[in-house]
Each structure stands twice: as structure tokens, then as C-alpha cells.
Amino acid sequence: MRLDPASVTEKDLDRFWSYVDVRGPDECWPWLKSFNGKNGYARFCAGTNKQIRCSRLLLFIMQGPPETSKPLALHTCDNPRCVNPLHLFYGDQLDNMRDCAAKGRNAVQVNPDIVRGVRNGMTKLTAEQVTDIKRSDLSQSALGRKYNVTKHAIWRIKHGINWRQHSVAA
């Protein structure tokens, strides 16, 4: 059965990241858990026999559900086992067939937002607040209420630490 990405909890996400070999921002991040037998795509399981492609789950967390015109969860790197959020984008069938170089250009339009964490309400936060969020022991939900942003925004800031540690240019 298809796992609804909106039902995925923070606990699930902690488990998700424990299955990822996190590398530098330009490298592929190999998924260490299970794969779809037919096409080799990394898949994440939660609940009772429910699963979702890792690429689709990550895009949902970062950008929300896809627009109907761009329903596919695609990789710029053409590596179905990769779960580097910076290598993922929503696209259509035409994007899917374009060459890698074109897909790379597409992704560049998305990437800086994700890396710098300015999407979806995070622009409301000052640098000091972001630092406080990173250091705080409060739950992600509590931090979201405190700063009036979504808990997913908090989640991205928390995980942004990892990305920035690896990031030189950003």
C-alpha cells in the first residue's frame, strides 16, 4: 500500500535519516535500506505494509504535494538509490526524458532555497532565531509554535545543520 507522506511522523523521519549515508551536497547520498525490486528505487516503509519512494517523501517534506502539472519525483543524478534532497525535483514526463544537463539546470533553480532554508516561512526568522532553533531542546512542534512556522520548517532547519557542515560553497 502507498504510504501517505502527510502521515509520516518526526519519529519516522529520524528513522529515515538513520538509513541514509549522508555525504557532501554535490554527492549522491546512498539509501542503505530497502529498494523496489522492479526499478531499484529507494523506498521507505512505515505503518503496516505501507511504503513510499524516498524521493517522493523528501520532496513532499520540502515542498509539499506536487502540482498536477509536475507529478513525478525525479532525480537530477539519475541514481534511483540516491536520497540527497538536492538531487530531487518535481517534474513532468518531459523533464523525465530530458538529458542530465538540462535536469541539472532545473534543479539549480530549486537548490539554493533548500540549502539556505529561506522557503515556506523561514524567511520570517532571523539568524539568531535559527541559531536558537538549532540549539533548542524543545520539540519541533513546540518550536514551530514559538516562532509561528510549521514544524516541517523547524525540521528543515534542524537538518540543515547536516547539509551546512558538508557545504563549502553555500
E strand residue ranges, the chain: 34-35, 42-46, 50-53, 72-75, 88-91
CB of 36 to Zn ion, least distance (A): 17
Q: What is the dihedral of CA 163, 141, 90, 7, to 10 degrees?
A: 130
Number of residues that bind Zn ion (CB under 5 A): 6
> For residues 39 and 142, what is the distance between their CA atoms, to the nearest angstrom?
40
For residue 67, give the DSSP letter: P
15, 22, 28, 146: residue in contact with Zn ion (rule CB under 5 A):
28
> In terms of C-beta density within 10 A (0-12 exposed, 13-18 middle, 19 or more buried), how is residue 48 classed?
exposed
CB of 5 to Zn ion, least distance (A): 20
> In the complex with Zn ion, which residue's Cβ is closer, 42 or 154?
42
CB of 77 to Zn ion, least distance (A): 3
> In terms of C-beta density within 10 A (0-12 exposed, 13-18 middle, 19 or more buried), how is residue 123 classed?
exposed
CB of 170 to Zn ion, least distance (A): 17
For residue 52, give the DSSP letter: E
Contacting range for Zn ion; rule: CB under 5 A; set: 11-19, 20-28, 104-112, 148-156: 20-28
| Interaction residues for Zn ion, span 33-92 (CB under 5 A) | 77, 79, 82, 84, 87
> In the complex with Zn ion, which residue's Cβ is closer, 46 or 77?
77
> In the complex with Zn ion, which residue's Cβ is closer, 110 or 154?
110
> In the complex with Zn ion, which residue's Cβ is closer, 54 or 61?
54
Q: Tell which residue, 93, 12, 79, 90, has the closest CA to residue 51.
A: 12
CB of 6 to Zn ion, least distance (A): 25
> In the complex with Zn ion, which residue's Cβ is closer, 87 or 103?
87
- Give the binding site for Zn ion (CB under 5 A): 28, 77, 79, 82, 84, 87
